[in-house]
Amino acid sequence: MTVLDRFSTMYADICQITLDDLADIYASNVAFVDPITTHHGLNSVQKYFANLLGQAERCQFDISMIAPVNSNSITHIVNWTMNLKLKQSDKLIVVDGNTQLTVKDDKIVYHKDYYDLGEMVYEHIPLLGFFVKKIKKRLAK
């Protein structure tokens, strides 16, 4: 099983993994970047996932495509839809995004997520969400 196969299996249902499972796909010196924060090293990524796993009741990624890239640094692009339900909310959050990966020696050394942070976070905060949706609607005209 390749690292991309292991990545797809793991992300299909993040809530079913253990923190030790992350070492099966990420290198010890991985750089993990998302719109909220950046983590350097496997230990930092494991702490990030510990926090996520503590808050999430459900976190599943439907990976629609993994494509190789001919680039000096990025080796693959992953398109996905995330379904996230937090323990303290009844609302299911659905967000489309993509990830840039760099794979070296069958481990991921670089992982960068791209998604709409407003769609994932801001739109679900009661008063702020109203204004974010209103602004997006106005910009779409």
Pairing between β-strand 107-115 and β-strand 26-33 as defined by DSSP bridges: parallel
Q: Which two tokens stand for residue 117?
A: 């942070």
Domains assigned to the chain: 3-116 (3.10.450.50)
Q: Which two tokens stand for residue 108?
A: 């991921």
Helix (H) or strand (E) holding 9: helix 3-12
Helix (H) or strand (E) holding 94: strand 92-104
Pairing between β-strand 107-115 and β-strand 92-104 as defined by DSSP bridges: antiparallel
- pLDDT (tens, 9 = 90+) of the chain, 141 residues, equals 999 999 999 999 999 999 999 999 999 999 999 998 999 999 999 999 999 999 999 999 999 999 999 888 999 999 999 999 999 888 898 999 999 999 999 999 999 999 987 665 545 556 655 655 666 577 667
Q: Residue 2 contacts by C-beta under 8 Å, 6 or more apart in sequence?
A: 106
Strand-pair partners of 110: 31, 102
